[in-house]
Amino acid sequence: ELKVEQNPLFLSMQEGKNYTIYCNYSTTSDRLYWYRQDPGKSLESLFVLLSNGAVKQEGRLMASLDTKARLSTLHITAAVHDLSATYFCAPREAGNEKLTFGTGTRLTIIP
């Protein structure tokens, strides 16, 4: 069974700073998703990473995937307040339709 560990679980950072959220998973995965959830809202798809070494960027967020290390990172550059949300990674186990979600990282950007 695929297990997913995200860290940190909680992160407070000042505006303008950089930080990285880590997503480790336990078995072979053929794709990995990152989602964002605002308080009281649903999940919004951010990225899908399909292969080893994949890197995707959207604004101040950049996601990467290392399938050999079974690690994905979500890097935040020069954080701004509206990035405050909970971020989830969700790898899909190879050969399985099911996504397994991490516990989420609750990010708070402090002005």
Partner 1 sequence: ETGVTQTPRHLVMGMTNKKSLKCEQHLGHNAMYWYKQSAKKPLELMFVYSLEERVENNSVPSRFSPECPNSSHLFLHLHTLQPEDSALYLCASSPDIEETQYFGPGTRLLVL
* Interaction between residue 4 and partner 1 (CB under 8 A): yes
Q: With contact defined as beta carbons under 8 Å apart, do 22 and 101 qualify?
A: no
Of these, 12, 20, 41, 81, which contacts partner 1 (CB under 8 A)?
Answer: 41
Name which position in 48, 62, 71, 80 contacts partner 1 (CB under 8 A).
48
Residue with structure tokens 């399985």?
96
Tokens of 90: 């969700």
Strand, helix or coil for residue 40: coil
* Interface with partner 1, residue 103, by CB under 8 A: yes
- Give the Cα separation of 74 and 56 in Å (integer): 10
Name the minimum Å distance from CB 86 to partner 1: 10
Residue 97 touching partner 1 (CB under 8 A): yes
